[in-house]
Amino acid sequence: MASVKQPLEVRAVALARALQTTAVTLITPAEQAQLDELSGMLEHPPDKVTVAQLTDQAFRARSASRGISQFQHLLETRGIPRFFGAFDKLGLQILRRIGQLVAFVAFPLARRKIRMDTANVILRAEHPPLIAHLRRRHAEGLRMNVNLLGEAVLGETEAAQRLEQYLATLALPEVEVVSVKISTLYSQVSPLAREHTVAVLCERLEKLFRAGADQIFTRPNGDRVAKFVYLDMEEYRDMHLTAAAFMQTLDRDGMENVSAGIVLQAYLPTPTPCSSSSTRGPARAWRAAVRPFGCGWSRAPTWKWNVSRPPSAAGRKRPSA
């Protein structure tokens, strides 16, 4: 492990390497088989597109007949992904040919298969199973970041429902950190309507940030901290919108003690200009809290910042054990 005297980004890389090395040694045969399958998908980009369209289009349908129809259309036009095993390929061949005849059975089974294949990485968001999982992880000494998965909302009614879902999740005593995406908060995100989009997002983010600040999470060691809200990054085209909404929300009055962060993903081509803009301007504590991690930028929820002056080596406190 890197020495505590080394720069933060060096320690972050060393920690990531140690975690990855440990994870590799703990992989089970079933997990390895799944990784091999995913590797095959990544080696064939068209297959990745097919799977994304299947999950995004076919499985969102409420009608079994409509879902199977879309499923068959995608398989006919794009073909069966090559990385699937022989048994799965046979099932897809049958589904492509006679799926409509047994749609009421085939569609639920297909969705169940997807859920089973992802059960070890995607958890049910209903509160009882989520709470049970978080309690088990807390008992193991782990801290959790809850990321509610879902595609971009299709309308303002769904956006309002998603915001309420975030607020309800934050209110759970077992939740410490929540990740949020702008496409789930507003259905009309558009770079062409930048000012309007940012204004709407700021209103909704402020509600989330304030809710997090009002909620208290008790860590296993007894520390009581405000809950943390991460603003996650999505498409490259929305990078500057996301950063602007984050910064302008935290510029509002009464937001000085909010625990919030933004993540600029390492796979984005040019995160630096965006992250640089977040460190210019008035000496607000949250601005300098955006720190470099290779190509990505993040503020860690385990740091406590001195609000009276910009964070520095003196103003930053390491988390207690």
- What is the rounded distance in angstroms from the CA atom of residue 148 to the CA atom of residue 123? 9
Q: Are 237 and 269 in contact (CB under 8 A)?
A: no
Kindly list the distances between the CA atom of residue 171 and the CA atoms of 123, 177, 228, in Å, as whole numbers in the listed order: 19, 11, 12
- What is the rounded distance in angstroms from the CA atom of residue 130 to the CA atom of residue 124? 7
Count the helices and strands in the chain (H runs, E runs): 11, 10
Kindly list the distances between the CA atom of residue 268 and the CA atoms of 30, 92, 309, in Å, as whole numbers in the listed order: 31, 34, 31
Q: Are 60 and 151 in contact (CB under 8 A)?
A: yes
| pLDDT mean values, one per 10 residues, the chain (321 residues) | 76 89 87 82 83 73 79 83 81 80 77 73 81 90 85 85 93 93 91 93 95 90 89 80 90 87 68 48 37 31 30 33 34
Residues of the chain with CATH 3.20.20.220: 127-317
Instruction: Report DSSP letters for 166-196, one per residue.
Output: HHHHHTSTT--EEEE-GGGT-TT--GGGHHH
- The residues near 140 (Cβ < 8 Å, ≥ 6 apart) are none
Contacts 24+ apart (CB under 8 A), 286-294: 286/250, 286/258, 286/260, 287/247, 288/312, 289/261, 290/261, 290/262, 291/8, 291/9, 292/9, 293/9, 293/12, 293/13, 293/266, 294/9, 294/12, 294/13, 294/266
Q: Which amino acid is at 23?
A: A
- What is the rounded distance in angstroms from the CA atom of residue 233 to the CA atom of residue 262? 8
Which phi-psi region, left, alpha or beta, contains residue 79 (left: φ > 0; alpha: ψ -120 to 50)? left
Residue with tokens 């059960």: 119
pTM over 0.75: no
- The residues near 41 (Cβ < 8 Å, ≥ 6 apart) are 47, 48, 51, 81, 83
216: which strand partners?
226
Kindly list the distances between the CA atom of residue 184 and the CA atoms of 31, 102, 109, 213, in Å, as whole numbers in the listed order: 30, 34, 28, 21
> Three-state DSSP class for 305?
strand
CATH number of 127-317: 3.20.20.220
User: Of 144, 145, 181, nearest to 162 (Cα)?
Assistant: 181
> Three-state DSSP class for 253?
coil
Give residue 198's pLDDT.
95
User: Of 210, 213, 217, nearest to 174 (Cα)?
Assistant: 217
